Amino acid sequence: MQIVTISGSIRTTSLNRALLIELGRIIPAPHQVHMLEIADLPHYSEDHEAPAPAAVTAFRTAIQNADALVIATPEYNHGYPGTLKNALDWASRPYGRGALSGKHVAVIGGGGGTGGIRAQVQLRQVLNGCGCHVLPRPELAVRFHEAFKDGVLVDPKVSEMLGRIGDALIAQASRG
């Protein structure tokens, strides 16, 4: 199974990115995990949908070729980042033929005291609107100040949850 991952945070030392790197280590072969970058996507404009910029076409193709996605999002001001929304808007088009339609998607993430759960709730709603099959559970909202020390994941329960989410996503995607 081909699984692509997307971090809603584009900073180099992002802890959401770190969660996805850990997930990539945990998901066993022969499944393949590949992280997509969203930092270089231009601002969405309907003027540039077709032909789309090269970075957008590559992003859409990678999603189209994937069997499942995992998105890790931070919480910015009680929502998920605009950078991630921009990427999803590109991937959702052209209308009726968007790359996200019918994809199996797991949502994870982290943040402060609430673990960024408000961002995940918003993100799940938008993914439903894009025609995705969002994995209902297990859920994972990581309190970063507890789970990471100096940028390193130190909470084994988080790794265990990542493994369970990977298994559940693969099982859901296998059922079609």
Task: Measure the N-to-C terminal CA separation of the chain; round to a whole number of Å.
Answer: 12
Q: Are 123 and 71 in contact (CB under 8 A)?
A: yes
Q: Least distance from C-beta 65 to ligand FMN, angstroms?
A: 26
Sign of CA dihedral 18, 19, 20, 24: positive
Residue closer to ligand FMN by CB (options 98, 116) is: 116
Distance CA 174, CA 158 (A): 24
Q: Are 75 and 82 in contact (CB under 8 A)?
A: no
CA angle in degrees (0–180, nearest 5) for 73-66-140:
30
| Contact status: 112 vs ligand FMN (CB under 6 A) | yes
In the complex, minimum distance from the CB of residue 53 to ligand FMN, in angstroms, rounded to a whole number? 25
Of 71-79, 100-108, 125-133, 155-163: span binding ligand FMN (CB under 6 A): 71-79
Q: By rule CB under 6 A, what count of residues binds ligand FMN?
A: 15
* Selected range binding ligand FMN among 13-21, 28-36, 132-140, 157-165, rule: CB under 6 A: 13-21
Q: Between 22 and 49, whose beta carbon lies closer to ligand FMN?
A: 22
Which residues of the shown chain bind ligand FMN in the complex (CB under 6 A)? 9, 11, 14-16, 74-78, 111-112, 114, 116, 144
